[in-house]
Structure formats: structure tokens, C-alpha cells
Chain A
Amino acid sequence: MSRFLDPSVLAGLSGLDLVARTVVDGFVAGLHRSADFGFSQEFAEYRAYAPGDDLRHVDWNVFARTERMYLKRYQGETNSLLTLLLDASNSMQFASHAVSKLNYARYMAAAISYLAIRKQRDAAGLLVFDDCVREFIRPSTRPGQLQRLLAGLELAEPRARTRFDLPMQHLLALLRRRGIIIVFSDFYETAESVIRAIEPLRFRGNEVVLFHILDPGEVAPEVGAGALLVDLETGARIEVTGDFAASEYRRRIAAHIEALREGARRAGMSYQLLVTDRPLDAALREYLAIRQGRP
């Protein structure tokens, strides 16, 4: 079943729901019921009630004895609010093979949404942004939420250029509860500005995961002896030589990745580099690891 996690195979499937189901089912079947990533309803801990928590999870027995409201938490339910942030700027449409970065991000987002809503019973939402917020679907567990999320993902066409500050400020105003925030982007800004823009989400107690999506053609571009490159976001043109692309560029993109990774670590965020020719299970594992409270 692992081949269904191959992005190039998924690209042949029609509909994000089918993609999500295929990915998750294949992924779950490959877990062999691992103890680390089980989906049982075993008790895990009590957590103090916070406004916005679902009252259905309040342990009324404890409230009766102590007059304090605690939420009874089970494994797999320690975080229940998932917000997916999808960068839909023009740079995300770059593809050096069958799957563009945006499609890879869509597959990931759809799969995680499916996993969260159908398997974990989590509330999941979606925010599509470029240099502003283009679409926001509030996290919810209502019936039809998964379809709304998938429709939102389908409609997320690449446009404009990336900005993190404005969308993040907007999201801060929209989010009222802590949860898991997953950002799918190629992060074509300096690592400092990216971390600076996203860091406030972490301050609100959210678990923030940065999925850095890059095309293999961006990690190791092949331009032959030289090429004229056109920036997908700005339209700027530049003549690039093969030796620079093979040496200096690689060094600089690696430094950028490392800066993002280090900045995310320092900010208490998770960082995962996803190259679009790799299977999607790495992202799912990352999500589940966070879902279980493990970095």
C-alpha cells in the first residue's frame, strides 16, 4: 500500500477526498498498530477547562467532588483543534516533475484533514493565504467539514506572492483556542521574517508545525551550462549559470533550510522539510507525533 503514498501516484487520482482516503488508509495500514501511534480511547490526563472547550469532555464527576472543571483527555485527543495554513502563492505552482508543490501541499492537507476528522475526531480548519488571507474555514467537527476543507483546498489556485505577516496577524485574530497549526509553504522569505511572523501563534500555546515544501528542482536545480530563470511571483528575470546553480545556490538553499529549522526549534515550533518527490508518510508521522505530544 505504500505506493499510494507516492505523490506521483496520487497525482493520477481524481478528487482530494480519494487522495486523502488513499493516503491515510495506506498509512494506517502500514502502522501495524504501533503502540506509539495508536487510536485507542484510553485515558491520558486531566486538563483544566478553558473557555471554548467542548463541555461534552468535562468530567462532571470531578466537578462534583472538587467544583473545578477538568477535561478528561484521552490519548489522541490531547489536541483537538487543527488549523491548516496553505500557502497558495505563485511560487507554489513550481513543479519539476508530475506534482507541483501546491498539489503536494493539497494532498498533505487533505490527508491530514481526513486523518484528523475521520480518525481522530478532531476539529480541522483551513486558511489559504498568499499575501493576504484568501480563504478561511473555521475548525470544526461538524458533519461536512471534511468536504468543505477539501473544497477549499481544491479552490486554492496559485496567485500573487507570499507574505506571512498579514495572514498571520489575521489568523491570530480569528483563532480563539489553542491547537495544532500546520503551515504548508515554501517559505521564500528570510528565515527570520518567517519565524517572526509565525512565532506569535506559538505564544498563544499552539503547536505549530512548519511543513517546508520544496520541489527537488529547487533543492538541486539543473540549468545546464546556463539558463534564463523567471521568478514565478515577481516576473523578474535573471541569467543563471550552471556552476552557480550547482554550488552557490545549493549552499544558500541549504543554509536557508537550516536557518528555518534552527529558527523553528528556537521558537518551539516543529519543522519538517518535505520534498515533493518523497512519499507523504513523513508528514503524517510528524503530525501524529505532535498529536501525541511528542516532538
Chain B
Amino acid sequence: MGFLAPAFLFGAVAVAVPLYLHLLRRSASRPQPFSSLMFFELRQQQVAQRRRLRHWLLLALRLAIIALLALAFAQPYFDRAIAGMVPAKRLLVAIDDSFSMRAAGRLEAAKRGALTLLDSRRAVDRAQILSSGGQVHILTPPTRDSRALRAAVEGIAATDTRGSFATLARAVAALASGEHAPVELHFFSDMQKSAMPQVMAETALGPNVTLVLHAVGAAAPNWAVESVNVPSQVWDPRTARVQAVIAGYDTPAATRTVSFSIGGKTIATRRVEVPASGRAQVGIDSLPLPYGFSRGTVTIDGADELRADDEYRFSIERVERQRGLFVHQAADTRSGVYFSAAVNAAAGNPVALDDIATDRLANVDPGQYAFVVICDVASLPPTFVARLNAYVSRGGSVLVAVGTAAAQLRSLPFSAVSILGVHPYSREPERFASVGTADRALPVSGALEEWEGVRFYYAATLDERGAHVGLRLQDGTPLLLEKPSGEGRVMLFASGFDNLTNDLPLHPVFVAFVERLARYLSGGNPESSSRRVDDLLQLRNAQETGIGVEITDPSGRRALSLQASASDRTYPLERAGFYEVHLANGRHDLVAVNPDRRESDLTPLSAEALALWRGGSRAPVPAGAASVVAETGVMHASLWWYAMLVLLIAALAESFVGAGHLGTLRDEP
């Protein structure tokens, strides 16, 4: 016997109340003197004894009422085995619809098994259909309606998401938590090993859930295009290099044919030797790209069960080579060299940098450039400053490096950023400062680890009010800031690029940093446009609320409602394919989304792992698809309503006995 809510048993302590009323309060009554008891003798004693007995009966009834009430709330039950009869239970029929179920015949086998199970279930059992992939979808409420259940099963289609047994377990535990009847989870899946979480405890289903696993499919060799490395933007198609990794899972060594396509047109075919259960790399060095976004695919002749992973999508944008303006003082010849070298070293960097000293700026129009870098300049021609202000207010981007010369100013000439002071670290005991924090929300910042070893000997202290700080030195001094100005953006670097105020130009991070700067300032996407299914696509930041966002999904339909397009900050990428995105910052993008390639590994869980997941379940493991497990004969027989019945009887008896006591107060006529 057990209790579903044993905490209510503590309510039984309320029996102390009638005990107190009957025993303590009664005994507290004072004796009352009387002339003679001759008319109360014998028979009166018997009556009193009978009354006392009635008191005890009343007390017992009241104690029983309270105890039964607590018992009923605790929901007692006992396990009862009835031969040939199984108690009504709730069947949770979950069908794996993850990407791997696209393998030939797997989803169909799972659905057939589920239908067979539904047909063979008893009429008293309620069933509920779930689909389980990256997320769990509840397709029906608990019902005995076979037609609704069958329709839900037949309507399940394979998705591109990655399976997660932990997600299923959490959902089932939540569903079963409020269920009093026994719950039986029938899970139809290919039992992919990659879907099992690292910690088995995450797959706990709850105490009242019996897990019955129905494995469909088996281990099968599978080749897949695991990844494709391609720049998101190129300006010269002849330098666009595409590298693809072909992986084999449980495969023999084989030669696979790899096709590269752009816009649906195969532009190159390569043959690659893929070792047994290994990986091989193959690529092409040029792409005949038109201007704008192009949809590319890398395809292999898989000849395996899972054909959906034989293709990998990527997007690439061909842009005009943009020009950047690098302004420095005439005496500073070092900064331009380092910065230009870094720009040119960046792979596929579509930026040509014009290096101009301040004495030749009179006739330069910043509007001709994608971005402007002003490196440690103490003064600028007023006409250039006016053009620069207009340029920024119209949406231009400027990077200002504040070196030793610029730090002489109180504020920058074309922005409201104040220079509060300088930090000559080389004169301090530490001699230099390092980068202390990096905020990845500012894409230019990069990872903190990249900045390891970079020494800053000098930095200006800039007013960071209203600015987004991407990098800080160890003492908290802001190193890299972004401050919106008009429609454009102004980035501030609190040191120089001359290899004197710091040794940044000598570190590898300098090239990556400059590349990210160039892309960011020129409005390019610093990140690859290839995503995985289940990734979240960021649509806007906190400052971009109310601006419309448009997403066209792979089927060509708008993915967002009007309300969602104005308010949603992220969008879950649930399908593989190409998404056309118009972001809140005005950028257009073509996002290629591919299924998680861990789904390509069709290796199932070992029998030991399955047994471990089932835990103490007595249900046997079905062999093969469409197996139905015999039902166990143990049921939780609830006793609460018996307790309530006895409680009702006790309450009625208490009413009668109590009424007898009340009757003693009536005078005889």
C-alpha cells in the first residue's frame, strides 16, 4: 500500500482536537454538590455508563472522521494483480520524428508499430500521441478516440531536428506528474546513440511511468557531407575557395563523388576517397558567382539509407570590393603599414584600403568609402570634419584610434566623446596592461582568449557614457567602444596601431581583429551564414524594437506574423533549407540551414544503455519494429473513495450519536 500524497497524512494530528474536547474538557468540569443521590443510584450509574459509552462512541467516530479525511486526501492505493485484467492506464505513444528518421522505412515502421499498438490497446485505456525530435509536440489530448489517435499518428512527418531523449523524458515526466493512473510510454525510435544525453539521469521519466521501447531500423552505413567551409562574402570569384568534409559513419572505405552546385547548377565534380568510418576533405578554388547572394550545395552520391544528409547547403554573397579610408598623421607612417597589411592578409577580405595623411584630406569625400579609420589624429581639416559628420549621420562608419597624439585633445572633433585622461602604463609598475574582458555582443571584440599576450603600454580614458564597450583592459579602462551617431556608428579604440602604444600589430589577433573591423564597419556579416537546424536566428537587438523583420522560409512563405515580425528577437530555425532574411538593422541575408550532422550517425544505443534507460521496467524489449509489449498485471488500486465512503458513514453515525447528545438538553413536557 502506498500514498500518492503522503504529506496529507500529517493532517491526522487534528485528532488531538476531539481528544482534547472529549477528555480534557470533560474532566475539567467541577463536581456539583447535591442533597442526596438516592434517586440516581444504580440505574443512573448504568445510564451514565451508557452515556459514557456513547461519549466514547462519539469520540471514536470523530477520530475516525478526521483520520479518514486525512487518509482520503493522502490518496492511498495498493498494487493489485488481477489475472487477465489490467487496470486502465494512460498510454503515451511517442514517435521519433528527428532527422535520422528520414532514413528509408524508419518513420513508416514506427508509425505502423504505433498504429498496431493503438489497435491492440484495450478500450478502457486512454492514449496520447507525441512526436519527439528536438522538441516534443503533443498531438492529441489523452483520449480513447481511435480515429483521432490514428489520424495523429498518420500525420507525423520526419523533421530536420536533432533527436533528444532528455527532452522527451522531461516532457513525459511533466505529463505523468499529475496522472493517477499508471502511465506507459511507448517510444518508437531508431534509438540513435547521439540522441542520448551524456548524463543518464536526464532521461528519468518519473516514478509512475513504465517505459517500453520500440526500436525501428538498425545500424546502417551512412555517408554525409559533414561540413562546408566557405566565406560568406567574396568580391573575387576566382579566389572563392570551398572546402567540404565528407564523413562516413560505420562505412567501409569507398570513393564518393562530390558535386558542387551554385544556384542549382553543378559547377564542379570531384571524387574523394573516404576511409572506413572516416573523413575526407575535398574542395574547389573558384566559384562562378553572380553578384548578390547565391545558394550553393555540396552533394555526394551517398547510396545509403539516409539520403537527406548527402547534401549540404551554403550561401555566399558576391559583393563589390569596397574601399576604406585610413587617415593618419603625416609623421605616422607605421600605423598605415600595419593596418593595410592586416587588411590585405585577411582571406577574401573585400576591402581596398586608401592610406591618406591628414595634410591631403582637403578634397577627400568620406562618402566614397565603406568606412573611415582615423588613426591617432590630433587635428583634421574643418571641411573634412564637416563631411565626416554628414557621412556618419547618413549611416557611415568611422573607427577612431586614440593614440598619444589624439589624446592631447579634450574631445574628438566630430563626435561628443570626451577624452578624460590617459593611462601611460609603461610608466607604471606593471609596465603594461592586458585585455581583461571581452563582450561578444559586439562582434568585433572576438574571444578574450584571442587577446591573450597582447600588451598595452598606453591607453586613453574615454567617456563611455552611452557607448557599448566591447573590450576593457584589466583595470577597467574601456579599450574598444561603439557609439551610435545619427544613422551611422562610431567605433573608438583607446590606443594606436603603431606598434608603439601597444604590441597588438605583432599578434595574430590583429589580423582577425582588423578583418572583423573591416567587415563590421563596411556593413558586412562577420559571421558565416550557415546555421544548423534548431539554432536561433537573432533578428534584432534591444535597441531595434518595433522595426519590422521579414523571414522567408525554405518553402517561400513568410515565417513571421505581423506581430512577431515587429517584436520577436529570435527565430528558431526548425527546417533545413535557405531562409531569406531582412533584419532589423536593414541587412539582407541568405541563411543556409542544415541538419545537425550528429543525426547522420545511425549507430543505435547499446542494449545495456537501453536496459539502463528502462531502469526497473518489467516490460520486455520488443525485437524489431512494430512490436507490442505484453501488459503487466499490476495496477494501482486507489482507495481514496473507499475512505470517503467510510468517512460519509462515520459522519452520518456521528450525526445520529451527536443528535442523541443534543437531545439530553430538552426538557420533558
- On A, residues with C-beta under 8 Å from B are 91-92, 94, 101, 186, 188-189, 215, 218, 221, 223-234, 236-244, 246-250, 252-253, 256
Contact = CB atoms under 8 A, between A and B. Distances in A.
A238 B35 CA distance: 12
A241 to B, nearest CB: 5
B31 A248 contact: no
B666 A231 contact: no
A92 B34 CA distance: 10
Contacts of B47: 241, 244, 248
A125 to B, nearest CB: 27
A218 B35 CA distance: 8
Given A248-B43, A252-B39, A230 B31 contact: yes
Contact of B37 (A101, A238, A253, A256): A238
A186 to B, nearest CB: 6
A246 B48 contact: no
A94 B666 contact: no
B36 interface: yes
A292 B41 CA distance: 42
A161 B665 CA distance: 32
Contacts of B29: 227-228
A229 B663 contact: no
Contact of A246 (B30, B36, B668): B668
Given A227-B29, A230-B31, A230-B32, A236 B37 contact: yes
B40 A238 contact: yes
Contacts of A223: 32
14 contacts: A91-B36, A94-B34, A218-B34, A226-B51, A228-B30, A231-B34, A232-B36, A234-B37, A237-B31, A241-B48, A241-B51, A241-B664, A244-B48, A248-B44
Contacts of A236: 37
A16 B35 CA distance: 24
A179 to B, nearest CB: 30
Nearest to A253: B39
Nearest to A233: B36
A225 B35 contact: no
Q: Which of B31, B32, B36 has most A Cβ within 10 Å?
A: B36
Interface in B30-83: 30-41, 43-45, 47-48, 51-52
A233 B40 CA distance: 14
B664 A225 contact: yes
B35 A215 contact: yes
B449 interface: no
Given A239-B51, A241-B47, A224 B665 contact: yes
Interface of B is mostly: loop
A230 B34 contact: yes
B668 A231 contact: no
Contacts of B667: 246
A240 B42 CA distance: 12
B661 interface: yes
A252 B40 CA distance: 9
A229 B45 contact: no
A227 B37 CA distance: 13
Q: For this complex, into which size category does the number of interface residues on chain B fall?
A: 20 to 34
Contacts of B33: 94, 229-230, 232
Nearest to B36: A188
A243 B666 contact: yes
A236 B42 CA distance: 13
Contacts of A253: 39
The 7 lowest CB-CB distance pairs between A and B, nearest first, are A243-B664, A188-B36, A229-B34, A94-B35, A91-B35, A239-B48, A242-B664
A218 B34 CA distance: 8
Nearest to A190: B38
A87 to B, nearest CB: 11
A238 B38 CA distance: 11
Contacts of B48: 226, 238-241, 244
Nearest to A229: B34
A37 to B, nearest CB: 33
Contacts of A218: 34-35
Given A238-B37, A252-B39, A253-B39, A244 B44 contact: yes
Contacts of B30: 228
A231 B666 CA distance: 25
A126 B664 CA distance: 44
Nearest to B39: A252
Chain A interface, DSSP helix/strand/loop, else mixed = mixed
A242 to B, nearest CB: 4
A186 B35 CA distance: 9
Interface of B: 29-41, 43-45, 47-48, 51-52, 661, 663-668
Contacts of B664: 225-226, 241-243, 246
B413 to A, nearest CB: 101
Contact of A231 (B36, B43, B52, B663): B36
A188 B35 contact: yes
Contact of A249 (B31, B39, B51, B52): B39
A240 B52 CA distance: 10
A215 B33 CA distance: 13
Contacts of B51: 226, 239, 241
Contacts of B36: 91, 186, 188, 231-233
A40 to B, nearest CB: 42
A130 to B, nearest CB: 13
A221 B34 contact: yes
A224 B661 CA distance: 11
Contacts of B43: 248
Contacts of B52: 239
Nearest to B34: A229
Contacts of B661: 225
Contacts of A243: 663-666
B601 to A, nearest CB: 83
Contacts of A239: 48, 51-52
A92 B664 CA distance: 28
Nearest to B42: A238
A230 B33 CA distance: 5
Nearest to B50: A241
A234 B47 CA distance: 21
B549 to A, nearest CB: 80
Contact of B666 (A228, A233, A246): A246
A246 B40 CA distance: 12
Given A232-B34, A242-B665, 19 more contacts: A188-B38, A218-B34, A221-B34, A225-B664, A227-B32, A228-B31, A228-B32, A229-B40, A230-B33, A236-B37, A238-B40, A239-B48, A240-B40, A241-B47, A243-B666, A244-B40, A248-B43, A248-B47, A249-B39
Contacts of A186: 35-36
A231 B665 contact: no
A220 to B, nearest CB: 9
Given A238-B45, A239-B51, A241-B47, A247 B35 contact: no
Contact of B31 (A91, A94, A229, A250): A229
Contacts of A232: 33-36
A277 to B, nearest CB: 15
B35, B52, B668 pick with most chain A CB within 10 angstroms: B35
Contacts of A248: 43-44, 47
Nearest to B47: A244
B389 to A, nearest CB: 99
B30 to A, nearest CB: 8
Contacts of A238: 37, 40-41, 44-45, 48
A248 B34 CA distance: 16
A239 B135 CA distance: 75
A242 B44 CA distance: 11
Contacts of A221: 34
A225 to B, nearest CB: 5
Contacts of A226: 48, 51, 664
A120 B317 CA distance: 146
Given A239-B51, A243-B666, A229 B32 contact: yes
A44 B62 CA distance: 77
Given A238-B45, A239-B51, A229 B666 contact: no
Contacts of A242: 664-665
